[in-house]
């Protein structure tokens, strides 16, 4: 026991300054001296660190050798650790290239007795404790002297450090592969939306039963429309007419004075707010409720499962998703629009995809009102023009895009599972609670791409 902290057998508690051969912050050359900038020395800012996962391999800015010499910047050799001391406190990366940094970033060159990857993980793990070491100015900051006094617990054995880092890196690598799969399918979806929502599909008998291909302008007829070239079979209609022709199918939430924060309850009838809406995805988090009596007063602004909900403001304006089945009934707030699709006219999934597509998004963003909080109004949404294929074709397009969304959702859930596994391993391995010498790779056989 050292200073009230239990140290596992075979570990020791040290100050960060003890494990570093060198520990030094950087500096920024004068911005108004052009010769100091645009050279061949990568120059790291905190935003470079927050945009990478573990290894830093490039920077947005560079400085010249002259800029390096005429400032307090210095070359942090590759395979060192960079730690942010201002604003985004405790961000950590390993630089795979020689870099210079600004004054907000500390370069840490380790002594040879410490595993680089292990130190990366232990510093990330201890990020939550750094605030107590900070000095308070306009914001909480660290400096070189304070960082050097930070205590960490580490295994004395270098092989044990190495093994812990290997285990965590295995999970990290799988998370990274999963990220790449997610990004690949997102790119595929973007391409599919561009093709399917402008060209559509036709049946291809040569490919077999129920097989379809994109329309080809050389084989099929297209026509000019207010929304650009579209297949001859398609129409351009106002949204309200495309989903059933009744104004009550598209309803905004109540005025703010009719539904206040004071009306929110912990249980009752759910309300849908802007933060619950993403593009073709409902965010089932931080759901608020109102009393049944209040919901009855606001019943005109109600939703049921399967309705579409659209954001009148935010980034981007007009993002839309479908209310999931587990939300059978509720109320939308003032800046949310409920869209109820008559499925004899249109496929609600198709309408959701088209509202999230540039053809509609650009219209809504052109028509925005207000400056401090730009938004669209109900009439602009009702009269927005949409391309409308025959209903059977809408079903096919929506099904293709839905399958891609399901794949993305599956991979995202798998990523969440991996992140949970990683957090559990860090809690166990980086505290010595579970020792690698006794660790049976329980659950690790499941750390494979989904």
Residues 178 and 245 in one domain: no
Report d(CA 195, CA 214) in Å as an integer: 7
Instruction: State how far the Cα of 207 lies from the Cα of 213, in Å rounded to an integer.
Output: 9
Specify the CATH number for the domain of residue 138: 3.90.220.20
Q: Are 433 and 369 within one domain? A: no
Q: Which residue has the higher pLDDT, 235 or 217?
A: 235
What is the pLDDT at residue 2?
Answer: 41
Could you give the CA distance from residue 426 to residue 121 in angstroms, rounded to a whole number? 8
Looking at the predicted structure, is the pLDDT value of residue 164 above 60? Answer: yes
For 401-413, what is each residue's pLDDT tens digit?
A: 999 999 999 999 9
Q: Which of 360, 388, 416 is the last residue of a domain?
A: 388
Examine the pLDDT at 444 and tell me if it is beyond 60: no
Residue 274 and residue 335: Cα distance in Å, rounded? 7
Query: What mean pLDDT is predicted for residues 3-10?
Result: 76
Q: Can you tell me the mean pLDDT for 277-282?
A: 95
The two structure tokens encoding residue 160 = 């044990």
Residue 208 has pLDDT above 90, yes or no: no
Question: 127: which DSSP letter?
Answer: G
Do residue 361 and residue 441 come from a single domain? no
DSSP per-residue letters across 184-240: HHHHHHHHHHHHHTTT-EEE-GGG-TT-EEE--TTTS-EE--TTS-EETT-EEEEHH
Single out the residue of 95, 101, 137 nearest to residue 116, CA to CA.
Answer: 95
pLDDT confidence tier of residue 130, bands split at 50, 70 and 90: confident
Is residue 146 in a domain?
Answer: yes
Which DSSP category does 256 fall into?
A: G
Domain that holds residue 196: 157-217+394-450
Angstrom distance (rounded) from CA 30 to CA 371 = 36
pLDDT at residue 210, rounded to an integer: 55
Rounded CA separation 390/235 (Å):
8
SS3 of 105, please? strand
Torsion angle (degrees, nearest 10) of CA 292, 297, 300, 305: 0
359 falls within a domain: yes
- The token pair at 309 is 């909900």
Q: What share of the chain is helix, strand, coil (3-state, %, to 5)?
A: 40, 25, 35
Residue 300 lies in a domain: yes
In this predicted structure, the answer to whether residue 69 has a pLDDT above a threshold of 70 is: yes
| Cα–Cα distance for residue pair 403/280, rounded to 1 Å | 13
Give me the number of domains the chain comprises: 3
Residues 362 and 249 in one domain: yes
Average pLDDT for residues 113-141, to the nearest whole number? 83
| Plot region of 73 (φ>0 → left; ψ -120 to 50 → alpha; else → beta) | beta
Q: Are residues 140 and 283 in the same domain?
A: no
Distance CA(191)–CA(183), nearest Å, equals 12
Residues 191 and 309 occupy one common structural domain: no
On whether both 164 and 257 belong to a single domain, the answer is no
Whether residue 6 is contained in a domain is answered as: no
CA distances from 323 to 281, 296, 326, 330 (A): 9, 19, 8, 10
Identify whether the C-beta of residue 214 lies closer than 8 Å to the C-beta of residue 203.
Answer: no
CATH of the domain at 402: 1.10.287.1120
Domain boundary among 155, 174, 195: 155
224 occurs within a structural domain: no
Cβ-based neighbours of 78, under 8 Å, separated by 6 or more: 95, 96, 97, 98, 99
Average pLDDT for residues 314-318, to the nearest whole number?
A: 86
Mean pLDDT for the chain overall: 91
Task: Write down which residue in 155, 182, 200 finishes a domain.
Answer: 155
What is the pLDDT confidence band of residue 441, given thresholds at 50, 70 and 90?
very low
Do 140 and 189 fall into the same domain?
no
Q: What is the DSSP string of 262-311?
A: GG-BSSSEEEE-GGGEETTEE--SS-EEE-HHHHHHTGGGEEETT-EEEE
Q: What's the pLDDT score for residue 189?
A: 96
Average pLDDT rounded to a whole number, residues 49-69: 94
C-beta separation of 243 from 338 below 8 A: no
Residue 149 and residue 161 share a domain: no
Sign of the dihedral defined by the CA atoms of residues 87, 90, 91, 92, in that order: positive
Higher pLDDT, 441 or 419: 419
The reported pTM is: 0.84
Query: Half-sphere exposure of 278 toward its Cβ, with a 13 Å CA cutoff?
Result: 6
242 with 267, same domain: the answer is yes
* SS3 readout for 400-414: HHHHHHHHHHHHHHH
190 plus 247 within the same structural domain: no
Residue 151 within a domain? yes
Residue 271 lies in a domain: yes
| Whether 380 and 406 share a structural domain | no
The dihedral built from the CA positions of residue 147, 150, 156 and 160, taken in this order, carries a sign that is negative
Q: Is residue 266 part of a domain?
A: yes
Residue 296, number of CB atoms within 10 A of its CB: 11
Chain segment 342-379, per-residue pLDDT in tens: 999 999 999 999 999 999 988 888 767 766 678 899 99
> From CA 326, how far away is CA 204, in angstroms rounded?
38
């Amino acid at each position: 026991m050292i200073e009230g902290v239990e140290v596992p057998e075979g570990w020791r508690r040290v100050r960060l300054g003890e494990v570093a051969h060198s520990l030094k912050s950087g500096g920024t050359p004068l911005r108004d001296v052009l010769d100091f900038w645009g050279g061949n020395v990568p120059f790291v800012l905190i935003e470079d660190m927050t945009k990478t996962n573990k290894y830093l391999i490039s920077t947005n800015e560079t400085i010249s050798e002259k800029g390096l010499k005429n400032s307090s910047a210095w070359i942090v050799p590759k395979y060192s650790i960079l730690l942010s001391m201002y604003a985004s406190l405790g961000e950590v990366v390993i630089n795979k290239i020689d870099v210079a940094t600004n004054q907000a970033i500390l370069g840490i060159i380790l002594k040879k007795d410490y595993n680089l990857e292990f130190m990366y993980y232990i510093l990330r793990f201890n990020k939550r404790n750094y605030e107590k070491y900070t000095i308070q100015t306009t914001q909480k900051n660290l400096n070189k002297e304070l960082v050097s006094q930070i205590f960490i617990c580490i295994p004395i054995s270098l092989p044990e450090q190495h093994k812990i880092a290997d285990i965590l890196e295995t999970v990290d690598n799988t998370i990274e592969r999963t990220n790449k799969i997610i990004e690949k399918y997102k790119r595929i979806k973007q391409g599919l939306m561009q093709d399917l929502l402008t060209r559509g599909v036709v049946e291809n008998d040569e490919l077999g039963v129920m097989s379809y291909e994109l329309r080809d302008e050389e084989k099929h007829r297209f026509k000019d429309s207010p929304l650009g070239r579209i297949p001859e079979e398609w129409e351009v209609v106002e949204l309200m007419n495309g989903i059933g022709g009744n104004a009550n199918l598209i309803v905004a939430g109540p005025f703010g004075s009719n539904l206040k924060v004071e009306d929110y309850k912990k249980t009752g009838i759910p309300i849908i707010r802007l933060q619950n809406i993403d593009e073709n995805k409902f965010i089932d988090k931080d759901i608020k409720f109102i009393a049944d009596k209040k919901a009855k007063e606001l019943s005109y602004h109600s939703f049921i499962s399967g309705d579409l909900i659209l954001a009148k403001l935010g980034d981007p304006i007009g993002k839309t998703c479908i209310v999931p089945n587990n939300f059978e009934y509720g109320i939308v707030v003032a800046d949310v629009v409920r869209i109820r699709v008559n499925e004899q006219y249109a496929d609600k999934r198709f309408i959701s995809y088209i509202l999230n597509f540039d053809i509609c998004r650009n219209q809504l963003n052109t028509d925005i009102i207000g400056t401090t909080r730009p938004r669209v109004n109900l009439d602009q949404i009702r009269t927005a023009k949409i391309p409308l294929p025959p209903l059977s074709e809408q079903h096919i397009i929506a099904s293709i895009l839905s399958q891609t969304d399901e794949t993305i959702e599956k991979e995202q859930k798998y990523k969440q599972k991996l992140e949970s596994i990683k957090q559990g391993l860090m809690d166990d391995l980086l505290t010595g609670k579970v020792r690698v010498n006794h660790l049976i790779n329980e659950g690790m056989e499941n750390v494979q791409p989904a």
